[in-house]
Amino acid sequence: MRRRPRTLTGRLAGMLAGLVLAAAALVAVAAPAQAASLTQVASFGSNPGNLAMYAYRPDNLPSGAPAVVLLHGCAQNATGYFANSGWQKYADQWKFTLIVPEQRSANNSSSCFNWFETGDTSRGQGEALSIKQMVDHARSSYGTAANRVYVSGLSAGGAMSAAMLATYPDVFAAGSIIAGVPYRCATGMINAFSCMSPGVDKTPAQWGDLVRNAHPGYSGPRPKVAVWHGTSDYTVAAANATESRDQWTNVLGVAQTPTSTAQLPASTTLEVYGNDVVRVYRVSGMGHGTPVDPGAGADQCGTAAAYFLDTICSAYRDALFFGLNGGGPTPTPTPSPTASPSPTGAPTCVTASNYAHVTAGRAYHSGGYAYANGSNQRMGLYNTFYTTTLRQTAPNHWVIGC
């Protein structure tokens, strides 16, 4: 059954009433008003995935403006994600279109995008094609730029964001995966839950091959990718952030060792890989949700609600990463200081149980596993029976081995 947005009829009635009153009063000069609103698009293509399309076009939007696709999580909808994620603020400020797909309960009883179904995450098929058709519609109907299209999503939407980056690298210039999983981590409902937690461990090359096989023969530029994850996310294990990092650094041909790190608000650590083509944001203590930071500051946005967690404004950071700040250059994160070598030149190495490493602050645990601070390498089970040697390479940055 086709669902109508709850407030569409009311908005149309209000707009018509306002026009009638304005005409009757013969107002000579009208004060400028923010009339833009999230609006459902009735038809945008063959829509094989049976999704709904919503779009937001700020007032005075210039021709050739960028477009950002926003993909909600399970039990969410387009209206709620648009209202709470904080993206509207920057769309208004820097003038770009928002495209907000919505899952239908007929497709998934929990309103999740079907990121684990191969028919919905393959190029030219299902939900992936429906989302691509929304982008095509925005370009032909709104005049959005073909080379400045981006995607961001949470949880199931984050996994679907990864799918769009993998299947349509010729469409998206960059993307953001929030509390998501690597592309093709799961290929059906049976392994979807184990993919979410504790996660699936593959080599960077294995993960990269899954992306390359999504569009065989493609040799053009690949989108750059930002990965967001809370270290206390027990719905989608934090290990997925590391696996996503491995996937996209491999696809983009850069090492899995960060070229710089930075400390951001809300105890957020930013790792930059290569020439800033992959970013990983780890929000300390955050659970499962989109990071927001309500407030009026330039780097504040969003509304705290279920699955919108008051920590740091991810929309602001992603908008800068995408280069949406009025066409200006993307700010480069300030690298954290590197560790000074010891007088003898010998590295600092510690061999201990994974439990002891976590207790001493050299590692953290998530989903039953221990991970080295800084490198976020998986060390094995979090208990006293697994022993690991860690080597310190920078302040609060440890790697496995010595």
Q: Which residue in 356, 344, 345 sits closest to 383, CA to CA?
A: 356
Mark whether 155 is an active-site residue: yes
* Cβ contact 107:78 at 8 Å: no
Residues in contact with 42: Cβ distance below 8 Å, sequence separation at least 6, in sequence order:
none
φ, ψ at 354 (rounded to 5°): -60, -35
Burial code (b: 16+ CB inside 10 Å, e: under 16) for 165-186 equals: bbbbbebbbbbbbbbbbbbbbb
Locate all alpha helices (DSSP H) within 213-252, ordered by sequence.
239-252
- Active-site residue (options: 130, 155, 244, 375): 155
Locate all alpha helices (DSSP H) within 112-178, ordered by sequence.
126-142, 156-167
Rounded Cα distance between 165 and 163, Å, is 5
Crossing angle, helix 239-252 and helix 156-167, to 10 degrees?
10
- HEC letters along 323-386: CCCCCCCCCCCCCCCCCCCCCCCCCEEEEEEHHHHHHHCCEEEECCEEEECECCCEEEECCCCC
Question: Quick one: which H or E segment has residue 309?
Answer: strand 308-310
Pair of tokens at residue 372:
């080295």
Rounded Cα distance between 250 and 168, Å, is 17
Enumerate the active-site residues: 155
